[in-house]
Amino acid sequence: MPNPLYDTLFGQHKGKTTPFLQMADGSVVTHDTYLQMSAQYAHLFTEWGVRPGDRVAVQIEKSPQALAVYAACVQAGFVFLPLNTAYTADEVSYFAENSGARVILCDAKRSDALAPVAAACGARLETLNADGSGSFAMQADKMPAAFPTVDRSVDDLAAFLYTSGTTGRSKGAMLTQGNLLSNCLTLTEEWRFTADDALLHALPIFHTHGLFVATNIALLAGSKILFLPRFDLDVMLELMAQATTMMGVPTFYTRLLGDARFTKQLTRHMRLFVSGSAPLLAETHLQFEERTGHRILERYGMTETNMNTSNPYDGERRAGTVGFPLPGVEIKITDSRTGESLPQGEIGEIEVRGPNVFKGYWQMPEKTAEELRENGFFITGDLGQIDEDGYLSIVGRNKDLIISGGYNIYPKEIELLLDAQPGVLESAVIGVPHPDFGETVLGILVAERQAILDLDAIKANIGGSLAKFKHPQRLVVLPELPRNTMGKVQKKELREHYKDMFLHA
């Protein structure tokens, strides 16, 4: 029996001296060098007693070596568990204990803090640093550079990704080889990736976007990756001349647009810019097209499903939407109370079904049953609507819905109006407790550089477009909105900060 994910993504490159990763300094890691490195890692894990199905947790900086750990886990049949490098030792403790990780790899500077974590859950702790040094790499250097690939099926687990935990304890989404492989095959074809492409990659690799979308696509297509440890505006501008494609989060694009060096001439050879992980403002779409002549392709995915929808490669990439369901993926909009499908154009909960949808939450059968229906549809928790042309728009999260005086209020509707006001860079609308209405609307604004916002004028401007119960009770101005590492606005943090605003007024 073969190992479908390894054979398709990695095995096809054995012996090839073609460039795989090009670093910012111009140094290159070839496909074969990469696979020899990952084979050594697989040998070392196996020597330590890690067996197929065991979990390997990594909290390490982005590097070729870090990416090789992923390949080693796939080849040896381990479950790869990448962790956000910003997590504290307490947070890692939960992930390690909950997953039953056999090994934890970390940067040397974190080893003292994580030593008691590893000891408490019986995991082996080793170090792997951003420059490729560390106890793990040193021991792996002595291992053979070829490893007998372990047989796996499409139903075997390949990775755990823990959700952000905005509504309670983080949940370990179990992703199979088939989940990752089906999505990669579809996206490579939909976005026209080939061996002639060079992908500008500044995303983290502990997240679906940078790892299971960007990296897997490049592996399948044989594309070269311009591999940056993080977003650095100067380096991005310098390397863009060598790239044909780029994947990023909205903040990447706004930062590029904020620099006069980012021009149509600089992007003339690019064929595709992809954005995801957070909503892209329609204004950013338009500014980007005006500046470069390129229209960003926005898509929609999540931890539990990888990618679900995409704007078309050929055809209209409609600002404010995330396009159409990918081939083989079904999307429906339902009433969150009854689960019944809603008519086209109505706002409801997005449900998705397809080979990309995860297997369930690790050791959480009740939570799995709540969110993964018996018919295979996953209840995403996202609110959306499908327009008359079939484009899906994300309205917000179900938990962000505001219910004021018994009326449902969708923050996105108000945010679009606020974003269009003079001097407003962006906005976030949240519901906060109110003694009379249960909840009321609070609008939080970020001003454009050097702009002074007239809040009374803004309230008057949007008032004519909104029913009275949707009017923000108050507008406040912040220097910036709180975001996570992938650029998503953290509304939970805002709700917590402003929860008493109207209770003691």
**Model confidence at 191: pLDDT above 60:** yes
Count of helices and strands (H, E) across the chain? 16, 25
Of the pLDDT bands very low, low, confident and very high (cuts 50, 70, 90), residue 254 is confident
**Per-residue pLDDT at 487:** 76
Residues 73-88, mean pLDDT to the nearest whole number: 94
Residues 49-61, mean pLDDT to the nearest whole number: 97
Class of domain 4-19+30-152: alpha beta
Q: CATH code for 401-497?
A: 3.30.300.30
For 329-386, the pLDDT digits (tens) are 999 999 988 889 999 999 999 999 999 999 999 999 999 999 999 999 999 989 999 9
Q: How far, in Å, CA of 337 to CA of 51, rounded? A: 43
From 54, 57, 44, select the one nearest 147 (Cα to Cα): 44
Beta bridge partners of 434: 438
For 308-325, the pLDDT digits (tens) are 999 999 999 999 899 999
| Encoded tokens for 298 | 């926005």
For 447-474, the pLDDT digits (tens) are 998 899 999 999 999 988 887 888 999 9
What value does the mean pLDDT of the chain take? 93
**Per-residue pLDDT at 167:** 46
Mapping DSSP to helix (H, G, I), strand (E, B) and coil, where does residue 128 land? coil
**Per-residue pLDDT at 166:** 43
Task: Give the helix ranges, DSSP H, for 324-410.
Answer: 365-371
**Per-residue pLDDT at 196:** 97
Instruction: Classify domain 190-397 by CATH architecture.
Output: 3-Layer(aba) Sandwich (3.40)
Domain with CATH 3.30.300.30 in the chain: 401-497
Q: How far, in Å, CA of 187 to CA of 191, rounded? A: 6
Question: Which pTM value belongs to this model?
Answer: 0.85
**Model confidence at 434: pLDDT above 60:** yes
Residues 4-15, mean pLDDT to the nearest whole number: 96
Residues 24-53, mean pLDDT to the nearest whole number: 97
Residues 171-187, mean pLDDT to the nearest whole number: 97
**Model confidence at 270: pLDDT above 90:** yes
Mapping DSSP to helix (H, G, I), strand (E, B) and coil, where does residue 53 land? coil
From 179, 163, 181, select the one nearest 303 (Cα to Cα): 163
Percent of the chain clearing pLDDT 90 (strictly above): 79
In 291-423, which ranges are E strands? 297-302, 306-310, 324-325, 330-334, 348-353, 360-361, 378-386, 392-397, 402-404, 407-409
Task: Give the helix ranges, DSSP H, for 338-409.
Answer: 365-371
More confident of the two residues 421 and 169: 421
**Per-residue pLDDT at 432:** 87
**Model confidence at 440: pLDDT above 60:** yes
Residues 283-305, mean pLDDT to the nearest whole number: 94
Domain with CATH 3.40.50.12780 in the chain: 190-397
What are the backbone angles phi and psi of residue 423, rounded to the nearest 5°?
A: 85, -5
Domain with CATH 3.40.50.980 in the chain: 4-19+30-152
More confident of the two residues 103 and 463: 103
Specify the pairing of strand 157-162 against strand 172-176: antiparallel
For 196-244, the pLDDT digits (tens) are 999 999 999 998 999 999 999 999 999 999 999 999 999 999 999 999 9
**Per-residue pLDDT at 505:** 54
For 123-170, the pLDDT digits (tens) are 999 999 999 999 999 999 999 999 999 999 999 999 999 986 544 578
Half-sphere exposure of 84 (CA within 13 A, CB side): 17
- In which element (H, E) is residue 58 found? strand 55-59
Mapping DSSP to helix (H, G, I), strand (E, B) and coil, where does residue 259 land? coil
Contact of 167 with 193, CB cutoff 8 Å: no
Contact of 107 with 128, CB cutoff 8 Å: yes
Residues 91-117, mean pLDDT to the nearest whole number: 95
